[in-house]
């Protein structure tokens, strides 16, 4: 991991919160010329510090929905079984997150579905795909209290917020 300059870190922090900020505005906030700022952002992208930019859609304004977190235990804990499962879930649009976890289960999936009937249909489809699911346990998100895509960079780097 390369060392980020304080300016690079500030650029990343701002872009996490305001991905659509203009280069001129970003340059002003980090005290650089517009061309220097653009060069730094391009370098951060080229080095993989920035992997993409996306709009955060307010799903409540678009459609009724439910988020369901589902823990999955596979019948076999082999590299082949993991690869098979991971390839299969890439094709299921309702699964918006998938993490390998420790403990009793192998995976934690997050579903965005219309309702519990839609979740049940998605889960049944996965079971019928014969991708090695031994058992599962689901938790319905009743209310979201905090959701952020911004990573706590200064905390992770043990840098003071001064």
The per-residue pLDDT for 162 is 59
Residue 27 lies in a domain: yes
Residue 158 lies in a domain: no
Q: Which two tokens stand for residue 144?
A: 């979201």
In sequence order, what are the beta bridge partners of 113?
66
63 in the same domain as 36: no
Number of domains in the chain: 2
* Under 8 Å between Cβ of 106 and 74: yes
Q: Which domain holds residue 27?
A: 6-55
> In the block, which residue shows the tokens 């209310």?
143
104 in the same domain as 91: yes
113 in the same domain as 42: no
130 in the same domain as 65: yes
- What CATH number should be reported for the domain holding residue 10? 1.10.10.10
The per-residue pLDDT for 55 is 87
* Under 8 Å between Cβ of 64 and 115: yes
Residue 101 and residue 126: Cα distance in Å, rounded?
19
CA 35 and chain centroid, separation: 31
66 in the same domain as 13: no
100 in the same domain as 68: yes
The residue-averaged pLDDT of 86-105 equals: 97
Residue 103 lies in a domain: yes
Does 148 score more than 60 pLDDT?
Answer: yes
The residue-averaged pLDDT of 81-94 equals: 97
DSSP letter, residue 91:
T
* Under 8 Å between Cβ of 73 and 106: yes
CA end-to-end span of the chain, whole Å? Answer: 23
């Amino acid at each position: 991991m390369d060392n980020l300059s304080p300016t690079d870190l500030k650029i990343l922090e701002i872009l996490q919160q305001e991905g659509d900020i203009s280069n001129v505005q970003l340059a002003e906030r980090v005290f650089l010329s517009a061309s220097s700022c653009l060069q730094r952002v391009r370098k951060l992208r080229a080095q993989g510090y920035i992997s993409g930019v996306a709009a955060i859609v307010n799903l409540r304004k678009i459609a009724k929905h439910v988020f369901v977190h589902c823990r999955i235990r596979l019948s076999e804990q082999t590299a082949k079984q993991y690869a098979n499962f991971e390839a299969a879930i890439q094709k299921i649009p309702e699964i918006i997150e998938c993490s390998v976890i420790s403990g009793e289960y192998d995976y934690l999936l997050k579903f965005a579905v219309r309702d519990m009937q839609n979740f049940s249909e998605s889960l049944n489809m996965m079971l019928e795909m014969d991708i090695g699911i031994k058992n599962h346990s689901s938790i319905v998100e009743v209310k979201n209290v905090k959701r952020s895509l911004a990573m706590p960079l200064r905390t992770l780097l043990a840098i003071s917020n001064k």
